[in-house]
Structure 1
Amino acid sequence: MSGIEDYKSQNNHVNVAPATPKINPGPLGLCAFALTTFVLSLFNLGAGVPSGGPVTVVTGLAMFYGGITQILAGMWEFKVGNNFGATAFTSYGAFWLSYAAILIPGFGVVSAYANTPDHTLDNALGIFLFAWGIFTFIMWIATVRSTMTLSSMFFILTITFFVLSSAHLSHLSAGNMVTKFGGALGVITALLAWYNAAAGLYDASNTFVKLPTGSLAQLKSQ
């Protein structure tokens, strides 16, 4: 007789529903965000490739991992009732899909600016990144009572968007120091995202490793 049958026989054959596994989409969404951000940021930094050069190798990542996977994680966050996670993952998933659309010639985004005045494309990209900086600042405010590592990630990501935006709006040449600085900030953001993902993945069921995240809950109003 199986263990569950033994339990039933000892408890008047009461049906026992199996425990529902806990769903935590956070690590998946964070990993998708981290890896895509890491690769693009290395390109912006000029690590192994010229800063300001072609970044179309990121297109696949932006579509399928940073984009679709994050949106799926966002939908699962809605399922578990986490409005912050749902908003963050769905939004940044859409960011990566929209970024991929800019890189894919078939969408005609870059070619549409071929006959426009100088720096029009740069201005458009600058506004695009600036708007994402505003959104990320709003998301950062929602993390100031969460954990140190999560709040730091959104804070640095906010600066990253504004720095990269300023590089475009200032009409700087490709491979400029501002873009490289934005790339360095992006690498730090990605590492923090991976750290937060690992902190969510590691528990007593799978490892002895426990990563501190620095709870900011004590800052809540009494």
Structure 2
Amino acid sequence: MTMPSSSSEMEKSQSVAESTQKVDEIFYNKEYITLGDRTYRRSDLLTALGSDLSNNNSTDAYPKDQSRFRKLGNPVPLGLASFSLSCMTLSLVNANVRGVTNVKLLISLFMFFGGAIELFAGLLCFVTGDTYAMTVFSSFGGFWISWGCINTDQFHSISGYGENSVMLDNAIGFFLAGWTVFTFLMLMCTLKSSWGLFLLLTFLDLTFLMLCIGSFINNNNVKMAGGYFGILSSCCGWYSLYCMVVNDDNSYFSFRATMMPNAPIV
């Protein structure tokens, strides 16, 4: 064993012990905190110790970094529900299932559930920071509202063309062509997502394409093909919706969405 070589080392160790004891003496008020013989600004010290402590001890009525502790619901399933139901019903009419070709009864569904609710879901995605979902849902919310207005007599969108059915078909073709391009661009952003979302937009793009071509050439069989693709798209939407809302707490039949190759692992 080695003893301290001089009294200076003993004094140094004694001073360290005294300084350690001084740290236990904490004095603070609203703005400053004193630790031993040093005084710190309260906000700077709490920031250095971590934002969690800063939030828990803040005297502000509205803490600055409280948003990440607030649990928000996921608005994506709402958008998928709105889209899938509206797409399913419209596609059944486009496919002439059971001889139904008139969409008048479904206009309220297109404008309120397919349009307003989906637009609302897109705006909620803005709150959660999901730029892609915000763009897709808000855009298709606008589509459903527009499609409902086109088929509403008060807007005279169809009757305004009078007997010129060829111009009407071409105008509808232009409308659907624009949505074909938009859907394709959104489809390219799902190549590393789930198979359900990828197939939803794939079949939806084919739906717009078939309806667009059918309008340009005035061929009902091509439009019916678009209706069948729309039914497949809505089924993929139902699948994606179920995967997002089901869990072990609410169902015995819970499963995860199947991801595409090279999808990022979260």
TM beyond 0.5: yes
* Residue 166 in structure 1 maps to residue 166 in structure 2: no
Superposed, 1:73-152 pairs within 5 Å as 73-114=121-162, 117-152=164-199
- Superposed CA offset, 1:148-191 (max 9, x none): 1111111111111000100000122xxx2111111110001011
Check 1:84–1:202 CA distance in 2 against 1; reply closer, same or farther (3 A cut). same
- Superposed CA offset, 1:167-217 (max 9, x none): 000122xxx211111111000101110111111101233223223422126
Q: Equivalent of 2:236, from 189, 192, 203?
A: 192
Which one has a larger percent strand, Structure 1 or Structure 2? 2
Aligned-partner SS, 2:190 = coil
Aligned-partner SS, 1:218 = coil
Report 1 or 2 for greater relative contact order, CA contacts < 8 Å, sequence distance ≥ 6.
1
Contact 2:90 2:103 in 1 (8 A): yes
Contact 2:207 2:230 in 1 (8 A): yes
TM-score (norm 1): 0.84
Letter in 2 for 1:25: P
Partner residue, 2:81: 31
Contact 1:147 1:217 in 2 (8 A): no
Check 1:75–1:121 CA distance in 2 against 1; reply closer, same or farther (3 A cut). same
Distance in 1 (alpha carbons) for counterparts of 2:133 and 2:246: 19
Partner residue, 2:247: 203
More off after superposition, 40-49 vs 84-93: 40-49
Partner residue, 1:66: 114
Which runs of 5 or more residues in structure 2 are unaligned? 1-55, 58-65
Distance in 2 (alpha carbons) for counterparts of 1:68 and 1:26: 15
Letter in 1 for 2:182: F
Which runs of 5 or more residues in structure 1 are unaligned? 1-13
- Taking only aligned residues, the RMSD between alpha carbons, in angstroms, comes to 1.8
Letter in 1 for 2:188: I
Q: Percent identity?
A: 31
Distance in 2 (alpha carbons) for counterparts of 1:211 and 1:143: 20
TM-score (norm 2): 0.71
Letter in 1 for 2:247: D
The structure with more radius of gyration? 2
Distance in 2 (alpha carbons) for counterparts of 1:118 and 1:112: 10
After TM superposition, give the deviation of residue 32 of structure 1 in Å.
0.5
